[in-house]
Amino acid sequence: MTEEDVVAENPILHHALRLGDDALILGQRLSEWCGHAPMLELDLALANIGLDLIGQATHFLNLASEIEGKGRDADALAFHRDVLDFRNCLLVEQPNGDFAQTIARQFLFSNWQELLMREIAAAPEPRLSAIGAKAVKEIAYHARFASEWVVRLGDGTDESRARLIAGLDWMWRFVDELFDPKDGAPSLRADWDARIARTLAEASLELPKPRRGIVGGRSGHHSEHLGHLLSEMQFLQRAYPGATW
């Protein structure tokens, strides 16, 4: 049986891997900022969000490992899979770019993740809902933080506005994947659209124009960026096989 078959057979494993990988990859991206943010308060805020996400990733990947029952723990899943077996959405692996691009990514993702996690927290699967219930509070803060910065940058200077528009433009291709009828959460689209539209209006920005969505992350067909992220993240585990740290 291939990895794809195993995942298809077990929807909870499927969910746990996707949620864990989303959180892990975005947490890794945010930790790249540490020490380099535009001001100290933002260093702290981005590290804080990154920490929350790495915590969520640990919980979801532990669950995935338990369900999978192959003796691969959360670290083995994080540090010993290659691109084709990662299940995160394309949005989270996008490069940080400038601060506006980072905020655009966080804004689109956290608003979606919050809606999704509320649903998971209320769902009958107890192992997923326990993790979801704790994560919801964290994610609500991430969404608020990102939305407030969208307003600041959109309604700030000409430069910040132009940079935010460019950041949203970079990320917008990857939105449809979040709501994909097969691998996404199509029922959340209307709520998400309303949230995004409200904040963009407050920032006096227009909604980006619809465009062809790029998908593939959920089935392991990622952007070129993920391989580089993994080669950095997995370096020690790959260079010293079998060592404990």
Partner 1 sequence: MYTTELKDKNQKSAALSVADEDPEKLAAFEARVAADDFIEPKDWMPEAYRKTLIRQISQHAHSEIVGMLPEGNWITRAPNLRRKAILLAKVQDEGGHGLYLYAAAETLGISREEMIEALHSGRAKYSTIFNYPTLTWADIGAIGWLVDGAAIMNQVPLQRTSYGPYARAMVRICKEESFHQRQGYEIMCVLAAGTPEQKRMAQDALNRWWWPSLMMFGPPDDKSPNTAQSVRWRIKRETNDELRQKFVDVTVPQAEAIGLRVPDPALKWDEARGAYDFGDINWEEFYAVVRGEGATAKERIQARTSAWEDGAWVREAAATHASKRAMRLAAE
Residues found near partner 1 in the complex (CB under 8 A): 24, 28, 31-32, 34-44, 47-48, 50-51, 54-55, 57-58, 61, 74-75, 78-79, 98-99, 151-153, 155-157, 159-160, 163, 232-233, 235-237, 240, 242-245
> Which residue is listed with tokens 């060592």?
243
Written as six digits, the tokens of 240 are 């010293």
Q: Tally the residues of the chain.
A: 245
C-beta closer to partner 1: residue 160 or 180? 160
Residue in the block written with tokens 């601060």: 99
Sign, CA dihedral 108-217-54-50, equals negative
Minimum separation from the CB atom of position 61 to partner 1 (A): 8
Residues in contact with 178: Cβ distance below 8 Å, sequence separation at least 6, in sequence order: 89, 91, 108, 109, 112, 184, 185, 188, 192
Instruction: Tell the smallest beta-carbon distance from residue 127 to partner 1 (Å).
Output: 18
Residue 1 or 39 with smaller CB distance to partner 1: 39
Is 11 in contact with 2 (CB distance < 8 Å)? no
Cα dihedral 194, 199, 203, 207, rounded to 10, equals: -30
Min dist. Cβ of residue 163 to partner 1 (A): 7
Provide the minimum distance between the beta carbon of 13 and partner 1 in the complex, in angstroms, as a whole number: 18
What is the smallest separation between the CB atom of 20 and partner 1, expressed in angstroms? 10
CB of residue 228 vs partner 1: minimum separation in angstroms? Answer: 11
Give 26-39 as a DSSP string. HHHHHHTTTT-SSS
Contact of 67 with 131, CB cutoff 8 Å: no
